[in-house]
Amino acid sequence: MSSKKNLPFTREDLKKADVKLLRDGRWGNACVSVAEVNGERWTIKDFSNRHWLVKNSFAKLVLWRELKAIKKLAGLEGVPNKAFMLDDYTLAVQYIPGRVLARVPEGEVTAEYLEQCEAIINAIHQRDLVHLDTRGTSNWVMTPDGKPALIDFQASVHTNGLPKKLRSFMEDMDMGGVYKKWKKYLPKEMGEFREKENERISKLRKLWVLKGYMGVKKRHAKHGKPIDD
Average pLDDT over residues 91-114: 97
pLDDT of residue 23: 85
pLDDT of residue 169: 96
Considering only residues 4 and 25, tell me which one the structure prediction assigns the higher pLDDT: 25
Predicted confidence (pLDDT) at residue 217 exceeds the cutoff of 50: no
- What element of type H or E holds 222? strand 222-223
Average pLDDT over residues 2-21: 84
User: Sorting pLDDT into bands at 50, 70 and 90, what band is 215?
Assistant: very low
* The dihedral formed by the CA atoms of 54, 131, 174 and 203, expressed in degrees to the nearest 10: -30
Enumerate residues 6+ apart whose C-beta is below 8 A from 192: none
For 140: left if phi > 0, alpha if psi spans -120 to 50, otherwise beta; the answer is beta
Predicted confidence (pLDDT) at residue 200 exceeds the cutoff of 80: yes
User: Sorting pLDDT into bands at 50, 70 and 90, what band is 220?
Assistant: very low
**Of 174, 59, 176, residue with least CA distance to 127:** 174
Cα(11)–Cα(37) distance, integer angstroms: 11
Considering only residues 3 and 24, tell me which one the structure prediction assigns the higher pLDDT: 24
| Average predicted confidence (pLDDT) for the chain | 89
Alpha helices in 23-128 (DSSP H): 52-54, 60-72, 111-126
Task: Beginning with the edge strand found earlier in the chain, give each strand of the sheet holding 140-142 in spatial order.
Answer: 99-100, 140-142, 148-150
Lowest-pLDDT choice from 5-9, 108-112, 114-118, 221-225: 221-225
Cα(40)–Cα(85) distance, integer angstroms: 16
Name the pTM for this structure: 0.88
Predicted confidence (pLDDT) at residue 90 exceeds the cutoff of 90: yes
Cα(197)–Cα(212) distance, integer angstroms: 21
For 212: left if phi > 0, alpha if psi spans -120 to 50, otherwise beta; the answer is left
Task: Centre a 10 Å sphere on the Cβ of residue 168 and count the other Cβ atoms it contains.
Answer: 13
User: Sorting pLDDT into bands at 50, 70 and 90, what band is 213?
Assistant: very low
Q: What is the pLDDT of residues 20-68, one digit of tens each?
A: 998 886 777 899 999 999 999 999 999 998 888 888 888 999 999 999 9
Predicted confidence (pLDDT) at residue 197 exceeds the cutoff of 90: yes
Predicted confidence (pLDDT) at residue 2 exceeds the cutoff of 50: no
Cβ contact 71:59 at 8 Å: no
Average pLDDT over residues 110-123: 98
Predicted confidence (pLDDT) at residue 108 exceeds the cutoff of 90: yes
pLDDT of residue 211: 54
pLDDT of residue 209: 61
43, with CB counted inside 10 A (0-12, 13-18, 19+), is buried
